[in-house]
Amino acid sequence: MRTGSKKFLLSKGLDEYFIGVYNAYKFIGRFFKEAFKAPFHFREIINQCFEIGLKALPLITLTGFITGIVFTKQSRPSLETFGATSWLPSLISIAILRALASLVTALICSGKVGSSIGAELGSMRVTEQIDAMEVSAINPFKFLVTTRVLATTITVPILALYCGFVALLGSFVNINAHEATSFISFFEHGFDTITFLDIFTSVTKSIFFGFTIGIVGCYKGYNASSGTVGVGRAANQAVVLSMFLVFIEEVVIVQVSNWIRLF
């Protein structure tokens, strides 16, 4: 390795791509190895859960509520053509609980939480704080990465359920104004068509989303290259990559849950 020019197996880009995939794979493997070994840093996990929750809560509340209102508003005309506005609550509930709530939450968390984890760990990397932990015999992966990934995996599903609830409230506000449907009857109609599998799929999705956001943010931050540019890049790449993966997971999980529905 100490001599002359570097040889690439395929090409520079492809080599780097596969090395990246391999490193990410190792990173995820390390997470699972460390997550089930003591010490567990419960307190740090709880701290991170609160931090993530508080960071994302205002935006999720706002976005969820508006999504509910807008979606209801936009769906009404097409249902009206069939004289089927009484189906609005169930249509909305299906859309929100099956798809919108978890997706909206995941996207918001990618932006808010993923980027801040990427930036935080990135700046700890470039200012040698991670090295400082390591040389004082503290396992930085365990203390920083494991705790954050667990925290996002726990918190994002909770936020998604909350987002669904707020979106339904928004929808109710709109329906109440137009059709004078009562709160009780709105929710009765809404939940009529919702099955356990819907909720289960939604929560499962959110667990995957939460894990993805945490692990991507940590991976990008933990491996940030030196310099302040590295920090910005880590934050940015964390958002882009986690959003991308969230969409792919969404498609895959919906497909799988549709197969399950067939049985």
Residues that bind other proteins (CB under 8 A): 1-6, 39, 120, 123-124, 127-129, 131-132, 134-138, 143
- C-beta of 2 vs 83, nearer to other proteins: 2
Report in angstroms how near the CB of residue 24 gets to other proteins at its nearest: 21
Q: How far apart are CA 250 and CA 259, in angstroms?
A: 14
- C-beta of 137 vs 184, nearer to other proteins: 137
Whether the CB-CB separation of 98 and 250 falls below 8 Å is answered with no
Report in angstroms how near the CB of residue 2 gets to other proteins at its nearest: 5
Report in angstroms how near the CB of residue 49 gets to other proteins at its nearest: 16
- C-beta of 74 vs 136, nearer to other proteins: 136
In eight-state DSSP terms, residue 193 is S
**Alpha carbon distances (Å) from 75 to 55, 163, 168, 176, 178:** 31, 19, 14, 15, 13
- C-beta of 11 vs 136, nearer to other proteins: 136
Report in angstroms how near the CB of residue 116 gets to other proteins at its nearest: 12
